[in-house]
Amino acid sequence: MGLRETKKVRTRREIAGKAMGLFVKRGFDHVTVADVAAAADVSEKTVFNYFPTKEDLFYDEAPEREAALLDTVRSRTAGESLTAALLRAQANHCDRMCDPRFAAFARVIEDSPALQAKELEIMARQTESLARTIREELDVHELDAATAANAIVGIHWQFFRNARKQALAGRNGHAAARRLRRDLTRAYRLLEDGLGQLEKR
């Protein structure tokens, strides 16, 4: 990236970091965009230039996560099934979601209906993008691609919810990460017989 783009990335991260600190301390619904702007020493207009809504400030990594999901489909190794590639990629997040600090993130979501609604919106968008990518990469019927995408994002969402539940119950560390991996593996095995055939059409 050039200097201008590097500066934009740095500013975006700074704003998101300040926002998260306020959300954890006060709760999402008790923080305004003006509060975030003041903490980041920028104008409200600058905040909105980077984040269309306050909810986007909280889920600032959503675009990056979606891009990674689609890249997993596109760049899986030769002979690797769709489900195996996605399981491998998602399992890499288990340790991060079992870090004690994840509990603060989980608590903010649990206490905010607005963030829970935004989560649904994000999952719906990921489903559409994933369906389109599966159809393009695997050359399958549109209905098959949509069905697969809904199932995969359903697993992804349940994985995220399970991680939050564990964090809020005070379960973290290696044992919690192993539990998440086990449940994630089980979920993908339930799909393997159906989705594992997509490449063979």
Question: How do residues 15-59 score in pLDDT, each as one tens digit?
Answer: 999 999 999 999 999 999 999 999 999 999 999 999 999 999 999
Q: What percent of the chain stands above pLDDT 90?
A: 86
pTM over 0.85: yes
* 201 pLDDT above the threshold of 60: no
Residue 48 tokens read as: 């909105």
CA-to-CA distance for 137 and 89, rounded, in angstroms?
Answer: 18
Is residue 66 a contact partner of residue 72, using CB atoms and an 8 Å limit?
A: no
The DSSP string of 1-60 is --HHHHHHHHHHHHHHHHHHHHHHHH-GGG--HHHHHHHHTS-HHHHHHH-SSHHHHHTT
CATH tag, 62-200: 1.10.357
CB-based contact 22:39 (threshold 8 Å):
yes
Backbone angles phi, psi at 78, to 5 degrees: -60, 130
* Residue 96 pLDDT > 80: yes
Contact call for residues 17 and 23 (beta carbons, < 8 A): no
Separation CA 155–CA 147 (nearest Å): 13
Residue 44 exposure: Cα atoms within 13 Å on the Cβ side: 6
The band of 67, judged by pLDDT with boundaries at 50, 70 and 90, is: very high
Per-residue confidence band for 77, with pLDDT thresholds at 50, 70 and 90: confident
CA-to-CA distance for 8 and 22, rounded, in angstroms? 21
The region, left, alpha or beta by phi > 0 then psi within -120 to 50, assigned to residue 76 is beta
Over residues 118-146, the mean pLDDT reads 95
* Mean pLDDT for the stretch of residues 153-168: 94
**Which is nearest to 163 in space by CA: 143, 147, 184, 146?**
184
CATH architecture for segment(s) 3-53: Orthogonal Bundle (1.10)
Domain ranges of the chain: 3-53, 62-200
- Per-residue confidence band for 196, with pLDDT thresholds at 50, 70 and 90: low
